[in-house]
Amino acid sequence: MFVNTRKAVLEMIHESRLPISHVANLAGMRPNSIFRLKRDPNSKCRSYNVEKIAEICGYKVQWDKRKPDECNIHKIDIDENLEEMQTMNGFTNEIEKLADRIADYKMQNRLKDQEIEELKEKLNTISINDESKKLDFSNSQSECKMEVRLNGLTLENRLLEIQGKKACSKYLGYSENELTELWRPNEWFKFGEHPIDQLFHKESPTKLESAKLFVSGALSLAKTVFMSNETFALPIIYKHKDGSKVLTTLYFDFNISKKIATIKTRFHNGTH
């Protein structure tokens, strides 16, 4: 079946299990050129780059004579010894793939700039008439520590030292006991499956999968190369108990060596 060059390249790299950075280096390309193929469904890859990538990934390319931008790819049979060697190299490839994920995460953040600016504009439209609420709003925040670990290739996290429970209760509309049931302090969960994640609104502009990929990659690479601590802010929309949206900003200070992230939450609205 003939497909466009974008789909052909992405399929070959995916099936080969080779890291994008490794393929790009061998093909004489920039990794961002391949990341752009992943992000932009209308992007294309030049024919000679397709041929280079096919050779690296173990494929043959058959071009459509009527449509020069489409081709059919065929996997080249490899002997058992080569296949076994590729399997043995799988762990090394996974480390390199995590480096790809960090680069991908950073690219996703750049693509999110427009959405973040839109959120900031929404925050500027929030009006609170009660002066007492303005003071309370400007100073209320909560803080917790999140410990992360890699269990095999699975990223897990747990919450520790939760402070500012009254502020969370006030802005989210839940009692402290109800929130404690969601926080589940000191219990390990797969990243993205923690009970507190139920409070993230589906329209939140920040995709937690991006943070997951970054943290997972950072933990793995920290074993082999030096990585400094990271600080960043994520705009998040929570669901109030009554179903309304609560705009917040989460400030992360991630100590990679200790595998601990200090998270400060700034609530921008949500009091009722």
Task: Look at residue 173 and tell me whether its pLDDT is greater than 90.
Answer: yes
How does pLDDT run across 259-270, given as a tens digit for each residue?
A: 888 888 888 875
pLDDT in tens, 177-207: 999 999 999 999 988 788 998 888 877 655 5
What is the pLDDT, as a whole number, of residue 122?
62
The answer to whether residue 95 is domain-embedded is: no
List the CATH number of the domain containing 186. 3.30.450.20
> 198 and 83, same structural domain?
no
Rounded to the nearest angstrom, the gap between the alpha carbon of residue 6 and the centroid of all alpha carbons in its chain is 22
Question: Which tops the pLDDT comparison, 208 or 256?
Answer: 256
In a shared domain, residues 138 and 263: yes
Q: pTM for the complete prediction?
A: 0.46
Structural domain total, the chain: 2
Instruction: State the pLDDT confidence band at 214, using cuts at 50, 70 and 90.
Output: low
Domain check: are 145 and 227 in the same one? yes
Residue pLDDT, tens place only, 88-131: 444 445 555 555 666 666 656 655 666 666 666 665 554 444 44
Determine the structural domain holding residue 149 and report its residue range. Answer: 118-267
Task: Give residue-wise pLDDT tens across range 45-72.
Answer: 999 899 999 988 889 999 988 888 899 9
- Are 12 and 83 in the same domain? yes
Nearest CA-CA partner of 55 in 25, 26, 32, 34: 26
* 260 shares a domain with 132: yes
Distance separating alpha carbons of residues 44 and 7, to the nearest angstrom = 9
Best mean pLDDT range from 145-154, 170-179, 187-196, 253-262? 170-179
Q: Are residues 74 and 194 in the same domain?
A: no
Q: End of a domain among 88, 110, 140? A: 88
pLDDT in tens, 29-38: 888 888 889 8
